[in-house]
Every structure is written in C-alpha cells, then in structure tokens.
Structure 1
C-alpha cells in the first residue's frame, strides 16, 4: 500500500479506506476532492486527523482551523466539526485515527 496513491479523487465525494481496524483503534485514509464540504458531525470517540497532502479548512467548536501538509489536530469526542473546504492541487489526503 502507498498512502499517496491514488493521489486524486475521481469522483465528487470523499473516499474512505480503512487501513487498520482493531478493538480500540481504526485508521483510515481519506481522499477528498476539491472544495469538499461536509455536514456537521459529532462522534462518540476521539479522532486525530493529519493532512498528508494538500490542505483543508475545518470548523471545530465554532472556530476555523486551516491544516496544511503535515498539520494535525485532535477532535475530542462529542465535538461538533465539519470540513469547510479542501485544496484543488494537490487533492487533500488525510490520515484519520479513531480512538474508541
């Protein structure tokens, strides 16, 4: 597996790929097409996300956070959050770790 391949979304929706799943942790690779906007989400577990390629803007607890390649953020359990936008070139690739 290569975390950077494919490096472009071919559809207009995000692609979620589970890389590892265990009792307490799930690791996903997420490939976002340009200008991705998501609905507000609130999960019952912590989620750590890192931008591997491109950039993204998140709204989390009524504040905006811009993430560039290599940036990461912890989204605590029960925190309302959503993606406001993602980059065009290169497309945004995320690594997400869900901690149950």
Structure 2
C-alpha cells in the first residue's frame, strides 16, 4: 500500500503515469495521471473496472461509442468491454478500481 496525497503529482510529458495505491486478492486501486500527449490503446480487461475522473477532461471510446468525461464523472466498465482513451487534457487525474473475479474453490 502507498500512502500519498492523490492531488500531489507530476504530469508525465507523454502518456500516463500509473500508481498502484492498494492491491489485494480481488481488488486493485490505481491513480492515473494523464498528459495531453497519449497514444490511444484499446483495452480488453479480464476484470471489471470502475473509474472516477477527479480532475481534467477525457474523451473515450467504449464498446464503439464515444463519451466525454469531465471532473466528477464515473463509469463502470464490465470485464471484456473494449475501451480506448482517445484524448485527455494535461493533468487529467483518474482513480481506477479494478475488481477481479473471486477465486473458485
């Protein structure tokens, strides 16, 4: 676990900076800081993801549909949902919660 202030960060010159804040068996919480120079990459994750945009603005494509996110917006991405971050404002700050399936016994 990392102790820090979510709002004290350095904006990367390109791409995004990922900081894992907490990781346990079925959950991972990540702070993401975006530059305004990102390379759009499509993701298809094995786990569910809940995201809140804390600062800035972003444009995403989620399952073929474009969506603009502003400060305070949240979204839930079920596992295997194709999604791409297309554009971000410099210093966009996200909190992402990844929820992994429970292990079968």
- TM-score, scaled relative to structure 2: 0.87
Structure possessing the higher radius of gyration over alpha carbons: 2
Unaligned runs of 5+ in 1: none
Q: Aligned-pair distance for 1:13?
A: 2.0
Give 1:26's aligned residue.
28
- TM-score, scaled relative to structure 1: 0.91
Runs of 4+ in 1 over 2 A off after TM superposition: 35-38
- Alpha-carbon distance between aligned partners in 2 of 1:37 and 1:82, rounded to the nearest angstrom: 10
Give 1:4's aligned residue.
7
Q: Deviation string for 1:39-89 (max 9, x for gaps)?
A: 11100110011101001011001101111111010011001101010013x
Unaligned runs of 5+ in 2: 101-105
- Alpha-carbon distance between aligned partners in 2 of 1:66 and 1:10, rounded to the nearest angstrom: 22
Match of 1:84 among 83, 86, 93: 86
Q: Aligned-pair distance for 1:9?
A: 1.2
Supply the RMSD in Å over aligned alpha carbons: 1.1
